[in-house]
Structure 1
Amino acid sequence: MMSWVGEAKDLARALKIESELLLHEELQKQTLRAIYLNPRLREITLHGGTALRMMYGSPRFSLDLDFTGKTPLDLQDLPGELISSIKPFEKLMDFNIGFAAKKILSNKHDFLRFNLIFIVAGMNKRFRIKVELLEKDFIRGVRREFSIKYPIPTVIYVKTKKLSDILVDKVCAIAGRSYALPRNIYDVDFIVRKGGKLDPKHMEKEFGEWRETREGLRKAITLLERVDRKSILKEINLLLPESAKIGLDDVNRGVGTTLGVLKEAMSILHG
């Protein structure tokens, strides 16, 4: 029987994508399994690019795992709890698991960031999965069924944000940086094409809960209006399978869509 690593490499060749992206994604799935089968972790809500890919069908590979919510655990104990939940699969999956760079930041809410480190047998690199958790109550999540093939076929029920709420998060992330990353532009366009729209009340409630400001939003709009479209194209296509690669027309549409969403957010915030 072919190993999960061998199957991932074969699939990567078929998709014309870097095999490390598929291997990384499989390790993300093991992490999600550990979270959503653990009663002490499963109430946190997945969002961001990985939620868009795994829960909503985006073709863009996403490297991080972003969550919002609260657990019965102290934040400092969460990485150890998660690793304990993954460890039963070490032998079956032929990897070793650890974590590094735990950091807790505080603003209006506490924010945990750490890296899961997977050492996979036969590979010449360590796989790092960045996990982030914003510790605040979030009751708008929905459960979505998700199937995991390895090492034992399993169905889990992932608590995830709705598209409209992920769109608000994307606006906040852009405003917090004062510029839009290529992946933000792609994701905003994907959400809008899937029917996601800004929820004005949720926009007003969430904006400013971390580091985003109206001035940052204004700067992001100005920069996006003169962004280098070719650099966006190059970066995004590295994260897409051959069948989903985009062209400049797609980038132009995505930039236009993102500008429209950011300007709508500005209008909402100014009343």
Structure 2
Amino acid sequence: MINLITLKELSIKKQIDQSSVFREILQIAWLNQFYRLPAGRRVWFKGGTCLKLLYGSNRFSEDLDFNTKLTSRQIAAAVNLATGKLQTDFPGLSVKPLKSIAGIAHKLYLPTEFSFQPLTVKLDFSLREKALLPEKQVISTDLPVLSVTLINHFNPREILAEKYRAILKRKKGRDIYDLWFLLNQQVPFDENLIRKKLRLYQEKYQPEKLIKRIVDFEEQILIKDVNQFLPKTDRQILSRLKPLLLQKLKYAAKT
């Protein structure tokens, strides 16, 4: 396990707290173990942490999100096996199932020397659909963790479509930030793909509805939700994020 001196140096370098750095190390290690398993072939990594680890987003995250067609028993077996394989490198690491309204959820717990509270990583598995645009890639990282396994994951266009849907269904500043990041990276605004994602929830494609959700989103809630997960040097953008995103959407969605 990483020593405290190295962790502190990385925290200073990345302008983020030690827990976020260490959590990302654990996330990468866990993903590498999980995707070595046969079950990993039927699980697709997605969401904000996927953007961070595979597409260069600067937003750290507490969760790992997946889509899969595996059963709850198959998921639990794979999660327990991957976690067990990490217990030598991460002493005290454990995993527990969580109650979930939709899908399957587990949570990793890791005691650390720098906090009274254990480090946690939530694992969320959606059972509704498989990836429409699956890809495979190795996580490239400058952190002290081995990363050599191919990770099945969503294409950024599909993540964008799900972020569009997420903004309509819940109120989380991280979805606003991630949509801005994707559009800023010139990821195509795929109307057909968005329509497919909305259809699952009996929603119609109405860009003006998305615009209204963003306009009505309280800036202080957005800042509170995202601020702690960004490096200190990148936090100033949050006060300008809504107008920046709306400007991007004006051209991307042709509203």
TM-score band by shorter chain is 0.7 to 0.9
Residue 134 (structure 1) aligns with: 126
Using the alignment, how far apart are the partners of 1:99 and 1:150 within structure 2?
26
Determine helix, strand or coil for the equivalent of 2:41: coil
The 4+ residue runs of structure 1 with deviation greater than 6 A are 148-152, 215-218
**Residues 223 and 143 of structure 1: CA distance in aligned 2, closer, same or farther (over 3 Å):** closer
- Match for 2:84 among 76, 87, 92? 87
Q: How does 1:94-109 map to 2 (within 5 A)?
A: 94-103=91-100, 105=102
Deviation of 1:213 after TM superposition, in Å, equals 3.2
Using the alignment, how far apart are the partners of 1:121 and 1:83 within structure 2?
24
**Residues 32 and 6 of structure 1: CA distance in aligned 2, closer, same or farther (over 3 Å):** farther
Residue 76 (structure 1) aligns with: 73
Q: Deviations over 1:121-170 (max 9, x none)?
A: 56421222111112233252111122468886341111111111111000
TM-score (norm 2): 0.84
Amino acid of the structure 2 residue aligned with 1:64: D
Q: How does 1:159-238 map to 2 (within 5 A)?
A: 159-177=152-170, 179=171, 181-209=172-200, 211=201, 213-214=203-204, 221-238=211-228
**Residues 215 and 57 of structure 1: CA distance in aligned 2, closer, same or farther (over 3 Å):** closer
- Match for 1:155 among 136, 145, 148? 148
Residue 26 (structure 2) aligns with: 27
**Residues 150 and 55 of structure 1: CA distance in aligned 2, closer, same or farther (over 3 Å):** closer
State which drifts further: 154-163 or 50-59. 154-163
Deviation of 1:24 after TM superposition, in Å, equals 1.5
**Residues 149 and 188 of structure 1: CA distance in aligned 2, closer, same or farther (over 3 Å):** closer
Deviation of 1:11 after TM superposition, in Å, equals 1.0
**Residues 83 and 138 of structure 1: CA distance in aligned 2, closer, same or farther (over 3 Å):** same
Determine helix, strand or coil for the equivalent of 1:90: coil
Q: Does the CA-based 8 Å contact 2:54-2:140 persist in structure 1?
A: no
Using the alignment, how far apart are the partners of 1:235 and 1:48 within structure 2?
16
Deviation of 1:229 after TM superposition, in Å, equals 3.2
Residue 257 (structure 1) aligns with: 248
Residue 47 (structure 2) aligns with: 48
Determine helix, strand or coil for the equivalent of 1:17: coil
**Residues 43 and 149 of structure 1: CA distance in aligned 2, closer, same or farther (over 3 Å):** farther
Which runs of no fewer than 5 residues in structure 1 stay unpaired? 106-110
Deviation of 1:218 after TM superposition, in Å, equals 6.3
Residue 108 (structure 1) aligns with: none
As a proportion of its length, which structure holds more strand?
1
Which runs of no fewer than 5 residues in structure 2 stay unpaired? none
Q: Does the CA-based 8 Å contact 1:147-1:156 persist in structure 2?
A: no
**Residues 156 and 147 of structure 1: CA distance in aligned 2, closer, same or farther (over 3 Å):** farther
Q: Does the CA-based 8 Å contact 1:176-1:217 persist in structure 2?
A: no
Q: CA RMSD in A?
A: 3.0
Q: Does the CA-based 8 Å contact 2:45-2:65 persist in structure 1?
A: yes
TM-score (norm 1): 0.79
Deviation of 1:8 after TM superposition, in Å, equals 2.4
Using the alignment, how far apart are the partners of 1:212 and 1:26 within structure 2?
38
Q: Percent identity?
A: 21
**Residues 201 and 58 of structure 1: CA distance in aligned 2, closer, same or farther (over 3 Å):** same
Q: Does the CA-based 8 Å contact 1:185-1:258 persist in structure 2?
A: no
**Residues 223 and 250 of structure 1: CA distance in aligned 2, closer, same or farther (over 3 Å):** closer
